[in-house]
Amino acid sequence: MIKSETLKNRIGFIILLFAAIITLFPFFWMLSTALKSSGELFSKVPILFPSNPQWSNFADIFKLAPFERYFLNSGIVATSSVLLTVFINLLAGYTFAKYQFKGRKVMFMIVLSTLMIPMQIIMVPNFIILSKLGWLNSYAGLIIPRAAEAFGLFLSKQFMDEIPVELIEAARIDGEGEFKIFIKIILPNCKPLIAILSIFTFMWRWNDFLWPLIITSSKDMYTVQLGLASFVGQFYVEWNSLMAISLLAVIPVLIVFLIFQKLIVQGIATSGIKG
């Protein structure tokens, strides 16, 4: 009995190992291609390991397009989105969890009911609203409209529900103002929530494609993803350059993932955050 169990475990391990190789192959191929010389790209038998890695390919891509600008834009958008999203969703989540006010339940229900409505469905009116606001081609347009996340609010309220009221009461007796209580008492107690919301917001905003595609037309405001997509179907760009850019574009998210792997996977498994 025990023997057959260990055998099954071993077979399972081998299957998973094989699946892991398939999963990782595209990344390996991306790196391998990015380091190839132009001649090696068109070899009849694909070359797995370039004989003379062309690290200069990575420098050359900045000559193709102002990628330093695109990276700057993506960096600004992703980090300000994190700050704004975390702040307003935690504040609102805290209020919904710990204050009584008229319309509390109704408003929360309305927000919840839109949880399943994807942005794709409302892209047309949002484009029009942003053009009326004069926010097309601006950081404001890239950052602000996406900051109020139904999911972030839901997660925040859930988390804040668990914070004991006594903590708040004690601070009130000490004469602390309500906003100060939020900043000084509540926020330090929400580290896991802040971490998970920050990580996911960063990844979502960094990877976002449709939203920036709709609201930016000027190349100055392009994000990395738009810069990447603008090469689709451009025949003058070779695949080694294209893979080098793609690799640079995924590295920030990969780093975040590798650092916070445990937290991310647990967050997904327990709350089912949309991937």
Task: Write down the residue that tokens 């029009």 correspond to.
Answer: 128
> Contacts with another protein in 79-138 (CB under 8 A)?
88-89, 91-92, 94-101, 104, 107, 110-111, 114, 116-118, 120-129
Q: What are phi and psi of 63, to 5 degrees?
A: -85, -25
Asked if 38 is part of the footprint of another protein (rule: CB under 8 A), the reply reads: no
Nearer to another protein, 63 or 262 (CB): 262
CB of 83 to another protein, least distance (A): 12
* Shortest separation between residue 61's beta carbon and another protein, angstroms: 13
Is position 155 an interface residue for another protein (rule: CB under 8 A)? no
175 binds another protein (CB under 8 A): no
Among 58, 185, 214, 219, binds another protein (CB under 8 A): 214
- Among left, alpha and beta (phi > 0; psi -120 to 50; other), residue 233 is left
Q: How far is the CB of 40 from another protein (least distance, A)?
A: 10
Among 146, 201, 222, 244, binds another protein (CB under 8 A): 146
Torsion of CA 244, 246, 247, 248, to 10 degrees: 90
What number of other Cβ atoms are within 10 A of residue 99's Cβ?
9
Alpha helices in the chain (DSSP H): 2-34, 38-41, 56-64, 67-98, 104-113, 123-133, 139-143, 150-161, 165-173, 178-181, 191-207, 210-215, 224-229, 239-271
Under the binding rule (CB under 8 A), the answer on residue 30 touching another protein is yes
The one segment of 5-13, 52-60, 64-72, 183-191 that binds another protein by CB under 8 A: 5-13
Distance CA 20, CA 54 (A): 27
Taking the complex as a whole, the smallest distance from the CB of residue 257 to another protein amounts, in Å, to: 5
